[in-house]
Structure 1
Amino acid sequence: MSFQVEGKIAVVTGGSSGIGLAVVEILVAEGARVAWCGRNPERLAQSKDYILEKFPQADIFVQPCNVLDKEDVERFAQQVNAAFGGIDLLINNAGQGRVSNFENTQDEDWIKEIELKYFSVLYPVKAFLPQLKCSQHASITNVNSLLALQPEPHMIATSSARAALLNLTHSLAHEFSQFHIRVNSILLGMVESAQWKRRYQERTDRDISWEDWTANIAKKRGIPMRRLGKPEEPAHALVFLASPLASYTTGATIDVSGGFNKHL
Protein backbone atom coordinates (compact mmCIF):
# COMPACT_ATOMS: atom_id res chain seq x y z
CA MET A 1 0.00 0.00 0.00
CA SER A 2 1.27 3.47 -0.90
CA PHE A 3 1.57 6.17 1.75
CA GLN A 4 0.08 8.58 -0.84
CA VAL A 5 2.92 11.08 -0.41
CA GLU A 6 4.07 11.14 -4.02
CA GLY A 7 4.73 14.74 -5.01
CA LYS A 8 4.22 15.95 -1.43
CA ILE A 9 6.90 18.18 0.10
CA ALA A 10 8.27 17.01 3.43
CA VAL A 11 10.72 18.45 5.95
CA VAL A 12 12.52 16.19 8.42
CA THR A 13 14.60 17.67 11.23
CA GLY A 14 17.45 15.53 12.53
CA GLY A 15 17.36 13.67 9.23
CA SER A 16 21.01 12.77 8.84
CA SER A 17 20.98 9.49 10.80
CA GLY A 18 18.89 6.97 12.72
CA ILE A 19 15.11 7.34 12.68
CA GLY A 20 15.30 10.66 10.83
CA LEU A 21 17.27 9.20 7.94
CA ALA A 22 14.95 6.18 7.85
CA VAL A 23 12.01 8.60 7.48
CA VAL A 24 13.81 10.45 4.68
CA GLU A 25 14.48 7.18 2.84
CA ILE A 26 10.84 6.04 3.05
CA LEU A 27 9.55 9.42 1.87
CA VAL A 28 11.97 9.58 -1.06
CA ALA A 29 11.16 5.98 -2.03
CA GLU A 30 7.47 6.94 -2.04
CA GLY A 31 8.09 9.83 -4.42
CA ALA A 32 8.01 12.74 -1.99
CA ARG A 33 10.21 15.80 -2.35
CA VAL A 34 12.21 15.94 0.86
CA ALA A 35 14.26 18.54 2.74
CA TRP A 36 16.17 17.59 5.84
CA CYS A 37 18.65 19.15 8.20
CA GLY A 38 21.12 18.26 10.93
CA ARG A 39 23.79 19.92 13.03
CA ASN A 40 26.76 17.89 11.78
CA PRO A 41 27.70 18.97 8.21
CA GLU A 42 29.83 15.87 7.59
CA ARG A 43 27.12 13.43 8.66
CA LEU A 44 24.56 15.47 6.73
CA ALA A 45 26.66 15.21 3.57
CA GLN A 46 26.98 11.45 4.08
CA SER A 47 23.20 11.13 4.40
CA LYS A 48 22.73 13.08 1.16
CA ASP A 49 25.21 10.83 -0.65
CA TYR A 50 23.47 7.75 0.73
CA ILE A 51 20.04 8.86 -0.52
CA LEU A 52 21.31 9.93 -3.95
CA GLU A 53 23.17 6.64 -4.39
CA LYS A 54 19.94 4.72 -3.79
CA PHE A 55 17.64 7.21 -5.52
CA PRO A 56 19.60 9.18 -8.17
CA GLN A 57 16.48 11.03 -9.33
CA ALA A 58 15.46 12.13 -5.83
CA ASP A 59 14.24 15.70 -5.48
CA ILE A 60 15.90 16.75 -2.22
CA PHE A 61 17.24 19.73 -0.33
CA VAL A 62 19.81 19.32 2.44
CA GLN A 63 21.10 22.06 4.71
CA PRO A 64 22.93 22.22 8.07
CA CYS A 65 20.68 23.67 10.76
CA ASN A 66 20.63 23.74 14.55
CA VAL A 67 16.95 23.40 15.51
CA LEU A 68 17.71 25.04 18.87
CA ASP A 69 18.77 28.24 17.09
CA LYS A 70 15.62 30.18 16.19
CA GLU A 71 17.28 32.29 13.50
CA ASP A 72 18.95 29.24 11.98
CA VAL A 73 15.58 27.46 11.76
CA GLU A 74 13.89 30.50 10.22
CA ARG A 75 16.68 30.68 7.64
CA PHE A 76 16.26 26.97 6.86
CA ALA A 77 12.50 27.46 6.39
CA GLN A 78 13.14 30.31 3.96
CA GLN A 79 15.63 28.17 2.02
CA VAL A 80 13.17 25.28 1.79
CA ASN A 81 10.46 27.64 0.57
CA ALA A 82 12.80 29.00 -2.09
CA ALA A 83 13.74 25.47 -3.19
CA PHE A 84 10.28 23.85 -3.13
CA GLY A 85 7.74 26.65 -2.86
CA GLY A 86 6.23 25.46 0.43
CA ILE A 87 5.80 22.24 2.41
CA ASP A 88 3.07 19.74 3.26
CA LEU A 89 4.60 17.57 5.97
CA LEU A 90 6.79 18.57 8.92
CA ILE A 91 8.37 15.74 10.90
CA ASN A 92 10.21 16.82 14.06
CA ASN A 93 12.83 14.35 15.20
CA ALA A 94 14.12 15.40 18.66
CA GLY A 95 17.35 14.29 20.37
CA GLN A 96 18.52 11.77 22.93
CA GLY A 97 17.57 11.42 26.58
CA ARG A 98 19.48 12.28 29.73
CA VAL A 99 20.21 9.63 32.35
CA SER A 100 19.93 11.17 35.84
CA ASN A 101 17.73 11.05 38.92
CA PHE A 102 16.42 14.05 40.89
CA GLU A 103 19.42 14.24 43.21
CA ASN A 104 22.06 14.46 40.49
CA THR A 105 20.10 16.60 38.00
CA GLN A 106 21.37 20.17 38.20
CA ASP A 107 19.23 23.22 37.49
CA GLU A 108 20.89 23.80 34.13
CA ASP A 109 20.22 20.17 33.17
CA TRP A 110 16.47 20.66 33.58
CA ILE A 111 16.65 23.75 31.37
CA LYS A 112 18.68 21.94 28.70
CA GLU A 113 16.18 19.08 28.57
CA ILE A 114 13.23 21.43 28.19
CA GLU A 115 15.09 23.33 25.49
CA LEU A 116 16.04 20.19 23.56
CA LYS A 117 12.69 18.39 23.75
CA TYR A 118 10.41 21.46 23.56
CA PHE A 119 12.06 24.17 21.50
CA SER A 120 13.42 21.69 18.93
CA VAL A 121 9.73 21.34 18.02
CA LEU A 122 8.51 24.87 18.73
CA TYR A 123 11.04 26.62 16.51
CA PRO A 124 10.38 24.49 13.38
CA VAL A 125 6.61 24.67 13.93
CA LYS A 126 6.74 28.47 14.13
CA ALA A 127 9.08 28.78 11.15
CA PHE A 128 7.13 26.44 8.83
CA LEU A 129 3.59 27.32 9.95
CA PRO A 130 2.99 29.92 7.19
CA GLN A 131 3.91 27.33 4.56
CA LEU A 132 1.82 24.61 6.19
CA LYS A 133 -1.22 26.90 6.23
CA CYS A 134 -1.04 27.02 2.43
CA SER A 135 -1.04 23.22 2.02
CA GLN A 136 -4.08 21.07 1.31
CA HIS A 137 -2.49 18.10 3.10
CA ALA A 138 -0.67 19.73 6.02
CA SER A 139 0.57 17.72 8.98
CA ILE A 140 3.05 18.00 11.83
CA THR A 141 4.37 14.79 13.36
CA ASN A 142 6.60 14.73 16.43
CA VAL A 143 8.97 12.03 17.65
CA ASN A 144 8.27 11.60 21.35
CA SER A 145 9.03 8.93 23.93
CA LEU A 146 7.06 6.45 26.00
CA LEU A 147 8.58 8.36 28.93
CA ALA A 148 5.88 10.99 28.36
CA LEU A 149 3.31 8.58 29.83
CA GLN A 150 5.60 6.15 31.63
CA PRO A 151 8.32 8.13 33.42
CA GLU A 152 11.53 6.50 34.60
CA PRO A 153 13.19 7.65 37.87
CA HIS A 154 16.65 7.42 36.28
CA MET A 155 15.52 9.73 33.43
CA ILE A 156 13.50 12.23 35.45
CA ALA A 157 14.35 15.38 33.48
CA THR A 158 13.78 13.74 30.11
CA SER A 159 10.52 12.16 31.30
CA SER A 160 9.05 15.48 32.40
CA ALA A 161 10.19 17.22 29.21
CA ARG A 162 8.65 14.46 27.10
CA ALA A 163 5.35 14.86 29.00
CA ALA A 164 5.42 18.59 28.18
CA LEU A 165 5.92 17.79 24.49
CA LEU A 166 2.96 15.39 24.55
CA ASN A 167 0.80 18.12 26.06
CA LEU A 168 2.03 20.64 23.48
CA THR A 169 1.31 18.24 20.61
CA HIS A 170 -2.26 17.71 21.79
CA SER A 171 -2.81 21.46 22.27
CA LEU A 172 -1.46 22.28 18.81
CA ALA A 173 -3.71 19.61 17.26
CA HIS A 174 -6.76 21.43 18.57
CA GLU A 175 -5.55 24.94 17.79
CA PHE A 176 -4.30 24.13 14.29
CA SER A 177 -7.43 22.26 13.24
CA GLN A 178 -8.82 25.63 12.12
CA PHE A 179 -5.99 25.72 9.55
CA HIS A 180 -6.59 22.07 8.51
CA ILE A 181 -3.20 21.09 9.92
CA ARG A 182 -3.08 17.72 11.68
CA VAL A 183 -0.66 17.27 14.61
CA ASN A 184 0.31 13.82 15.94
CA SER A 185 3.22 12.00 17.53
CA ILE A 186 4.77 8.61 18.16
CA LEU A 187 5.91 7.32 21.54
CA LEU A 188 9.22 5.52 21.24
CA GLY A 189 10.43 2.67 23.36
CA MET A 190 13.99 1.37 23.03
CA VAL A 191 15.25 1.59 19.46
CA GLU A 192 18.63 0.68 17.96
CA SER A 193 20.75 3.83 17.73
CA ALA A 194 24.32 5.07 17.51
CA GLN A 195 24.28 5.32 21.30
CA TRP A 196 23.54 1.59 21.62
CA LYS A 197 26.16 0.82 18.96
CA ARG A 198 28.78 2.66 21.02
CA ARG A 199 27.83 0.72 24.13
CA TYR A 200 28.09 -2.51 22.17
CA GLN A 201 31.61 -1.61 21.06
CA GLU A 202 32.53 -1.06 24.73
CA ARG A 203 31.07 -4.41 25.90
CA THR A 204 33.11 -6.70 28.16
CA ASP A 205 31.97 -9.95 26.47
CA ARG A 206 33.70 -9.71 23.10
CA ASP A 207 32.16 -12.96 21.80
CA ILE A 208 28.50 -11.98 22.02
CA SER A 209 26.79 -10.91 18.79
CA TRP A 210 24.89 -7.63 18.36
CA GLU A 211 21.61 -9.56 18.08
CA ASP A 212 22.20 -11.51 21.30
CA TRP A 213 23.52 -8.46 23.14
CA THR A 214 20.47 -6.33 22.31
CA ALA A 215 18.13 -9.26 23.00
CA ASN A 216 19.62 -9.54 26.50
CA ILE A 217 18.97 -5.83 27.08
CA ALA A 218 15.37 -6.23 25.94
CA LYS A 219 14.89 -9.23 28.21
CA LYS A 220 16.33 -7.43 31.25
CA ARG A 221 14.11 -4.40 30.60
CA GLY A 222 11.02 -6.55 30.16
CA ILE A 223 10.22 -5.74 26.52
CA PRO A 224 7.65 -8.40 25.49
CA MET A 225 8.94 -8.59 21.90
CA ARG A 226 12.42 -9.35 23.34
CA ARG A 227 14.35 -7.07 21.01
CA LEU A 228 15.05 -3.41 20.39
CA GLY A 229 13.19 -1.62 17.64
CA LYS A 230 14.84 -0.89 14.31
CA PRO A 231 14.88 2.72 13.02
CA GLU A 232 12.62 1.91 10.07
CA GLU A 233 9.85 0.70 12.41
CA PRO A 234 9.11 4.05 14.09
CA ALA A 235 9.85 5.69 10.72
CA HIS A 236 6.94 3.84 9.11
CA ALA A 237 4.64 4.98 11.92
CA LEU A 238 5.80 8.58 11.47
CA VAL A 239 5.24 8.55 7.73
CA PHE A 240 1.78 7.02 8.19
CA LEU A 241 0.72 9.76 10.64
CA ALA A 242 2.17 12.44 8.37
CA SER A 243 0.50 11.05 5.25
CA PRO A 244 -3.02 11.47 3.82
CA LEU A 245 -3.70 7.89 4.97
CA ALA A 246 -4.18 9.39 8.45
CA SER A 247 -6.39 12.22 7.19
CA TYR A 248 -8.92 11.89 10.06
CA THR A 249 -6.29 11.55 12.80
CA THR A 250 -5.06 14.47 14.89
CA GLY A 251 -4.00 14.85 18.51
CA ALA A 252 -3.13 11.13 18.53
CA THR A 253 -0.10 9.03 19.41
CA ILE A 254 1.16 5.68 18.12
CA ASP A 255 3.05 3.55 20.61
CA VAL A 256 6.21 2.07 19.05
CA SER A 257 7.74 0.29 22.04
CA GLY A 258 7.52 -3.44 21.36
CA GLY A 259 4.89 -3.75 24.08
CA PHE A 260 7.02 -2.05 26.74
CA ASN A 261 4.11 0.22 27.64
CA LYS A 262 2.41 -0.61 30.95
CA HIS A 263 -0.54 1.78 30.70
CA LEU A 264 -3.93 1.27 29.05
Structure 2
Amino acid sequence: MDLQLADRAYLVTGGSSGVGLATVRTLLAEGARIVTCARDGSRLADVVAAAAPDAADRVVTCGADVRNPDDVNAVVAAAVDRFGRLDGLVNNAGGSRMAPRSQTTLDDWRDELDLKFSSVLNTVDAALPHLRHADAAAIVNVNAVLARQPETRLVATSAARAGLLNLSKSLSAELAPDIRVNSVALGLIDTGQWRRRYDESGQSKSFADWEAEIADDRGVVLGRFGRADEVADMIVMLLSPRASYVTGSCLDVCGGVARYV
Protein backbone atom coordinates (compact mmCIF):
# COMPACT_ATOMS: atom_id res chain seq x y z
CA MET A 1 0.00 0.00 0.00
CA ASP A 2 1.28 3.44 -0.93
CA LEU A 3 0.98 5.60 2.19
CA GLN A 4 1.25 8.77 0.06
CA LEU A 5 4.09 10.18 2.14
CA ALA A 6 6.69 10.67 -0.59
CA ASP A 7 8.15 14.19 -0.64
CA ARG A 8 6.10 15.33 2.34
CA ALA A 9 8.04 16.82 5.27
CA TYR A 10 7.70 15.84 8.92
CA LEU A 11 9.20 16.90 12.22
CA VAL A 12 10.06 14.10 14.66
CA THR A 13 11.18 15.12 18.14
CA GLY A 14 13.44 12.87 20.19
CA GLY A 15 14.88 11.23 17.10
CA SER A 16 18.18 9.98 18.48
CA SER A 17 16.98 6.61 19.77
CA GLY A 18 14.08 4.25 20.34
CA VAL A 19 10.70 5.08 18.87
CA GLY A 20 11.84 8.44 17.52
CA LEU A 21 14.72 6.97 15.53
CA ALA A 22 12.55 4.10 14.30
CA THR A 23 9.96 6.63 13.11
CA VAL A 24 12.62 8.59 11.24
CA ARG A 25 13.76 5.38 9.51
CA THR A 26 10.22 4.35 8.59
CA LEU A 27 9.27 7.75 7.21
CA LEU A 28 12.44 7.86 5.13
CA ALA A 29 11.66 4.41 3.76
CA GLU A 30 8.30 5.80 2.62
CA GLY A 31 10.04 8.61 0.73
CA ALA A 32 9.31 11.40 3.22
CA ARG A 33 11.66 14.20 4.20
CA ILE A 34 12.51 14.63 7.86
CA VAL A 35 13.63 17.20 10.37
CA THR A 36 14.43 15.64 13.71
CA CYS A 37 15.74 17.08 16.94
CA ALA A 38 17.21 15.98 20.27
CA ARG A 39 19.06 17.73 23.06
CA ASP A 40 22.41 16.26 22.00
CA GLY A 41 22.62 17.49 18.43
CA SER A 42 26.01 15.91 17.69
CA ARG A 43 24.93 12.47 18.81
CA LEU A 44 21.68 12.82 16.89
CA ALA A 45 23.52 13.66 13.67
CA ASP A 46 25.80 10.65 14.05
CA VAL A 47 22.98 8.24 14.88
CA VAL A 48 20.75 9.36 12.01
CA ALA A 49 23.64 9.30 9.53
CA ALA A 50 24.41 5.72 10.53
CA ALA A 51 20.75 4.68 10.42
CA ALA A 52 19.98 6.25 7.03
CA PRO A 53 23.25 6.65 5.10
CA ASP A 54 21.49 6.86 1.73
CA ALA A 55 19.01 9.56 2.73
CA ALA A 56 21.26 12.42 3.82
CA ASP A 57 19.62 14.78 1.35
CA ARG A 58 16.24 14.16 2.96
CA VAL A 59 17.18 14.63 6.63
CA VAL A 60 17.94 17.68 8.75
CA THR A 61 19.09 17.17 12.35
CA CYS A 62 18.98 19.87 15.01
CA GLY A 63 20.06 20.11 18.61
CA ALA A 64 17.11 21.44 20.60
CA ASP A 65 15.35 21.31 23.95
CA VAL A 66 11.63 21.01 23.22
CA ARG A 67 10.86 22.87 26.45
CA ASN A 68 12.45 25.97 24.95
CA PRO A 69 10.17 27.77 22.45
CA ASP A 70 13.11 29.49 20.75
CA ASP A 71 14.79 26.14 20.12
CA VAL A 72 11.60 24.68 18.66
CA ASN A 73 10.98 27.73 16.48
CA ALA A 74 14.48 27.30 15.07
CA VAL A 75 13.83 23.62 14.30
CA VAL A 76 10.61 24.41 12.44
CA ALA A 77 12.37 27.22 10.57
CA ALA A 78 15.08 24.77 9.53
CA ALA A 79 12.43 22.40 8.17
CA VAL A 80 10.71 25.06 6.12
CA ASP A 81 13.98 26.56 4.93
CA ARG A 82 15.23 23.19 3.71
CA PHE A 83 12.03 21.65 2.35
CA GLY A 84 9.70 24.60 1.83
CA ARG A 85 6.87 22.92 3.71
CA LEU A 86 5.83 21.03 6.82
CA ASP A 87 3.16 18.36 6.66
CA GLY A 88 3.13 16.93 10.15
CA LEU A 89 4.62 16.40 13.58
CA VAL A 90 5.53 13.43 15.73
CA ASN A 91 5.79 14.59 19.33
CA ASN A 92 7.95 11.87 20.83
CA ALA A 93 10.24 13.63 23.31
CA GLY A 94 9.85 12.64 26.93
CA GLY A 95 10.73 9.91 29.39
CA SER A 96 9.43 8.34 32.59
CA ARG A 97 10.05 9.29 36.20
CA MET A 98 10.21 6.12 38.30
CA ALA A 99 9.13 7.20 41.78
CA PRO A 100 6.09 6.86 44.04
CA ARG A 101 4.28 9.98 45.27
CA SER A 102 6.11 9.94 48.61
CA GLN A 103 9.42 10.34 46.75
CA THR A 104 8.22 12.88 44.20
CA THR A 105 8.90 16.51 45.06
CA LEU A 106 6.94 19.49 43.79
CA ASP A 107 9.87 20.33 41.53
CA ASP A 108 9.69 16.80 40.13
CA TRP A 109 6.00 17.32 39.39
CA ARG A 110 6.72 20.64 37.69
CA ASP A 111 9.51 19.16 35.59
CA GLU A 112 7.39 16.20 34.49
CA LEU A 113 4.37 18.29 33.57
CA ASP A 114 6.55 20.86 31.82
CA LEU A 115 8.20 18.25 29.64
CA LYS A 116 4.99 16.43 28.67
CA PHE A 117 3.08 19.60 27.83
CA SER A 118 5.80 21.92 26.53
CA SER A 119 7.07 19.28 24.12
CA VAL A 120 3.68 19.34 22.38
CA LEU A 121 2.53 22.93 22.81
CA ASN A 122 5.81 24.41 21.60
CA THR A 123 5.93 22.31 18.43
CA VAL A 124 2.27 22.89 17.64
CA ASP A 125 2.55 26.64 18.10
CA ALA A 126 5.68 26.85 15.95
CA ALA A 127 4.40 24.56 13.21
CA LEU A 128 0.77 25.65 13.00
CA PRO A 129 1.15 28.40 10.38
CA HIS A 130 2.92 25.92 8.05
CA LEU A 131 0.65 22.96 8.76
CA ARG A 132 -2.36 25.03 7.76
CA HIS A 133 -0.93 25.17 4.22
CA ALA A 134 -0.52 21.37 4.00
CA ASP A 135 -3.15 19.34 2.18
CA ALA A 136 -3.05 16.42 4.64
CA ALA A 137 -1.57 17.79 7.86
CA ALA A 138 -1.35 15.43 10.83
CA ILE A 139 0.06 15.34 14.34
CA VAL A 140 0.81 12.18 16.32
CA ASN A 141 1.56 12.43 20.03
CA VAL A 142 3.46 9.51 21.53
CA ASN A 143 1.86 8.65 24.86
CA ALA A 144 1.57 5.57 27.09
CA VAL A 145 -1.09 3.28 28.53
CA LEU A 146 -0.23 5.02 31.81
CA ALA A 147 -2.54 7.79 30.62
CA ARG A 148 -5.53 5.54 31.36
CA GLN A 149 -3.93 2.91 33.55
CA PRO A 150 -1.77 4.68 36.14
CA GLU A 151 1.10 3.08 38.04
CA THR A 152 1.80 4.13 41.62
CA ARG A 153 5.52 3.64 40.90
CA LEU A 154 5.24 6.25 38.13
CA VAL A 155 2.78 8.61 39.72
CA ALA A 156 3.94 11.90 38.17
CA THR A 157 4.44 10.39 34.74
CA SER A 158 1.02 8.72 34.87
CA ALA A 159 -0.68 12.00 35.72
CA ALA A 160 1.22 13.91 33.05
CA ARG A 161 0.39 11.24 30.46
CA ALA A 162 -3.30 11.53 31.35
CA GLY A 163 -3.10 15.27 30.85
CA LEU A 164 -1.40 14.83 27.49
CA LEU A 165 -4.15 12.47 26.35
CA ASN A 166 -6.74 15.08 27.31
CA LEU A 167 -4.75 17.83 25.56
CA SER A 168 -4.46 15.71 22.41
CA LYS A 169 -8.24 15.29 22.30
CA SER A 170 -8.73 19.03 22.73
CA LEU A 171 -6.25 19.79 19.96
CA SER A 172 -8.02 17.38 17.62
CA ALA A 173 -11.23 19.41 18.01
CA GLU A 174 -9.53 22.80 17.89
CA LEU A 175 -7.48 22.10 14.76
CA ALA A 176 -10.13 20.19 12.81
CA PRO A 177 -10.88 19.91 9.96
CA ASP A 178 -7.52 21.13 8.63
CA ILE A 179 -5.19 19.16 10.88
CA ARG A 180 -5.72 15.68 12.32
CA VAL A 181 -4.41 14.93 15.81
CA ASN A 182 -4.03 11.38 17.17
CA SER A 183 -2.06 9.54 19.83
CA VAL A 184 -0.36 6.20 20.26
CA ALA A 185 -0.28 4.69 23.75
CA LEU A 186 2.72 2.47 24.42
CA GLY A 187 3.18 -0.44 26.76
CA LEU A 188 6.48 -2.28 27.32
CA ILE A 189 8.63 -1.41 24.31
CA ASP A 190 12.19 -2.66 23.96
CA THR A 191 14.01 0.49 22.90
CA GLY A 192 17.37 -0.78 24.14
CA GLN A 193 16.85 -0.10 27.83
CA TRP A 194 15.43 -3.56 28.47
CA ARG A 195 18.40 -5.18 26.73
CA ARG A 196 20.72 -3.15 28.94
CA ARG A 197 18.82 -4.21 32.04
CA TYR A 198 19.09 -7.81 30.95
CA ASP A 199 22.85 -7.50 30.39
CA GLU A 200 23.30 -5.83 33.77
CA SER A 201 21.21 -8.45 35.60
CA GLY A 202 23.64 -11.30 34.93
CA GLN A 203 20.77 -13.62 34.02
CA SER A 204 21.57 -17.20 33.05
CA LYS A 205 18.33 -17.52 31.06
CA SER A 206 18.06 -16.25 27.49
CA PHE A 207 16.78 -12.75 26.77
CA ALA A 208 13.66 -14.24 25.17
CA ASP A 209 12.86 -16.25 28.32
CA TRP A 210 13.62 -13.28 30.59
CA GLU A 211 11.48 -11.01 28.42
CA ALA A 212 8.59 -13.49 28.41
CA GLU A 213 8.73 -13.78 32.20
CA ILE A 214 8.47 -10.02 32.65
CA ALA A 215 5.73 -9.76 30.05
CA ASP A 216 3.73 -12.43 31.85
CA ASP A 217 4.21 -10.66 35.19
CA ARG A 218 3.00 -7.36 33.69
CA GLY A 219 0.01 -8.92 31.95
CA VAL A 220 1.18 -8.51 28.35
CA VAL A 221 -1.02 -11.04 26.59
CA LEU A 222 1.23 -11.29 23.52
CA GLY A 223 3.95 -12.55 25.84
CA ARG A 224 6.82 -10.26 24.81
CA PHE A 225 8.02 -6.67 24.64
CA GLY A 226 7.09 -4.54 21.67
CA ARG A 227 9.72 -3.25 19.23
CA ALA A 228 10.33 0.36 18.31
CA ASP A 229 9.67 -0.37 14.63
CA GLU A 230 6.25 -1.82 15.51
CA VAL A 231 5.36 1.49 17.14
CA ALA A 232 6.81 3.48 14.24
CA ASP A 233 4.61 1.62 11.75
CA MET A 234 1.50 2.73 13.62
CA ILE A 235 2.71 6.32 13.95
CA VAL A 236 3.43 6.51 10.23
CA MET A 237 0.04 5.07 9.36
CA LEU A 238 -1.67 7.75 11.46
CA LEU A 239 0.41 10.44 9.76
CA SER A 240 -0.52 9.12 6.35
CA PRO A 241 -3.34 10.57 4.23
CA ARG A 242 -4.63 6.98 4.23
CA ALA A 243 -5.86 7.73 7.78
CA SER A 244 -7.75 10.80 6.56
CA TYR A 245 -10.90 10.06 8.59
CA VAL A 246 -9.10 9.36 11.87
CA THR A 247 -8.68 12.15 14.41
CA GLY A 248 -9.01 12.45 18.16
CA SER A 249 -8.16 8.76 18.53
CA CYS A 250 -5.66 6.95 20.70
CA LEU A 251 -4.21 3.71 19.35
CA ASP A 252 -2.84 1.26 21.92
CA VAL A 253 0.44 -0.34 20.88
CA CYS A 254 0.95 -2.38 24.00
CA GLY A 255 0.62 -6.10 23.30
CA GLY A 256 -2.75 -6.23 25.04
CA VAL A 257 -1.51 -5.04 28.44
CA ALA A 258 -4.27 -2.43 28.72
CA ARG A 259 -6.98 -3.49 31.16
CA TYR A 260 -9.43 -0.71 30.29
CA VAL A 261 -12.16 -1.10 27.67
Name the TM-score class by shorter chain: over 0.9
Contact residue 18 and residue 192 of structure 2 kept, 8 A: yes
Contact residue 92 and residue 141 of structure 2 kept, 8 A: yes
Other structure's SS at 1:250 match? coil
Other structure's SS at 2:86 match? coil
Question: What residue in structure 2 maps to residue 193 of structure 1?
Answer: 191
Other structure's SS at 1:27 match? helix
Q: Distance in 1 between matches of 2:199 and 2:125?
A: 40
Asked if 1:235 is matched to 2:232, the reply is yes
Shift of 1:96: 1.5
Shift of 1:58: 4.8
Shift of 1:99: 1.2
Shift of 1:191: 0.2
Shift of 1:198: 2.6
Shift of 1:195: 2.5
188-197 vs 161-170, greater mean Cα deviation: 188-197
Contact residue 186 and residue 253 of structure 2 kept, 8 A: yes
Contact residue 187 and residue 257 of structure 2 kept, 8 A: yes
* Pairing of 1:240-251 with structure 2 (within 5 A): 240-251=237-248
Q: TM-score, normalised by structure 2?
A: 0.96
Question: What residue in structure 1 maps to residue 107 of structure 2?
Answer: 108
Contact residue 169 and residue 251 of structure 1 kept, 8 A: yes
Contact residue 11 and residue 89 of structure 1 kept, 8 A: yes
Unaligned runs of at least 5 residues, structure 2: none
Contact residue 42 and residue 63 of structure 2 kept, 8 A: no
Which digits, 9 at most, give the CA deviation of each residue in 1:23-60, with x for residues without a partner?
Answer: 1111111111111111122320222212432x346511
Other structure's SS at 1:224 match? coil
Contact residue 52 and residue 58 of structure 1 kept, 8 A: no
Question: What residue in structure 2 maps to residue 210 of structure 1?
Answer: 207
Question: What residue in structure 1 maps to residue 24 of structure 2?
Answer: 24
Q: Distance in 1 between matches of 2:74 and 2:57?
A: 23
Q: Distance in 1 between matches of 2:55 and 2:26?
A: 15
Which digits, 9 at most, give the CA deviation of each residue in 1:128-182, with x for residues without a partner?
Answer: 111101111101110000000111111111010000000000000000015x100
Question: What residue in structure 1 maps to residue 147 of structure 2?
Answer: 148
Code of the residue aligned with 2:144 in structure 1: it is: S
* Pairing of 1:1-264 with structure 2 (within 5 A): 1-53=1-53, 55-56=54-55, 58-178=57-177, 180-205=178-203, 207-264=204-261
Shift of 1:208: 2.5
Pair 1:236–1:101, CA change in 2 (3 A) = same
Which digits, 9 at most, give the CA deviation of each residue in 1:51-83, with x for residues without a partner?
Answer: 432x34651111111111111111111111111
Other structure's SS at 2:141 match? strand
Q: Distance in 2 between matches of 1:61 and 1:225?
A: 37
Task: Indicate the percent of aligned positions where both proteins have the same amino acid.
Answer: 43
Q: TM-score, normalised by structure 1?
A: 0.95
Code of the residue aligned with 1:132 in structure 2: it is: L
Shift of 1:220: 1.3
16-25 vs 212-221, greater mean Cα deviation: 212-221
Which digits, 9 at most, give the CA deviation of each residue in 1:186-207, with x for residues without a partner?
Answer: 00001002322331221032x3
